[in-house]
Amino acid sequence: MIDLDGTLIHTAPEIARAANHMLAAMDRPVLAAKQIQGYIGEGAITLIKRCLTGHLTAEPDADLLAKAQNLFFDAYAQVVAESKPYPKVIEALQALKGAGMHLACVTNKPAAFTKPLLEKSGLAQYFDFVVSGDTLKKKKPEPDQIFYICEKFGISVQEAVLIGDSKTDIQAARNAGCYIFTVPYGYNQGYSIEINTVDALIDHLGDTLRFISTDQF
């Protein structure tokens, strides 16, 4: 199971463009792209709230949020498919499929954005299942998406690995009881991931087979 934003595809530039379009349309100050990148990882609505308030957990006015949500979604729909995969991602997915791995993409991004992004980037063909942020009632860090994927594959969670880039992915894997690998790039609100919080720190997706095939757990 592989996360999308910050793991497979570098989506932050396009997300920042859409967020700043939203803010400008509401006569609010635009934000640095790096600040907006630090808000990514827990779904579009959380991102919008953070852009409006400048805080990770503050709640904006409900009417303000509704207006901002429409503006952001409209703007992001225009640019979502422009994001590009990180280096070596396609080669890694090809290697994983070639080794007989079943692959699923699990993301907190709404399906309306997930599908065109995966298709335009050429990554959709590698995944047996795609579970978006609105596929189920709950998303990461809740374990529901992981349980759903494991059920679809007919495996136990103990046989599954989630690869991500953030504490949200780590919490989801721990809540579910599956393995968790993380990449050092991506979006984790500016925090580095410590080795003792994960099962493996990998430089890129291609390292996954090295850990699995050598039984390093």
Q: In angstroms, rounded to a whole number, what is the distance separating the alpha carbons of residues 30 and 96?
A: 40
Cβ burial, residue 29 (10 Å; 0-12/13-18/19+): exposed
Which is it for the CA torsion 187, 188, 193, 198, positive or negative? negative
CA 124, distance to chain mean position in Å, is 15
8 Å CB contact between 159 and 177 = no
* CA atoms within 13 A of residue 128's CA, in its CB half-sphere: 15
Which is it for the CA torsion 178, 179, 183, 188, positive or negative? positive
For residue 44, give both structure tokens. Answer: 């579009």
Residues annotated as catalytic (active site), given as ranges: 3
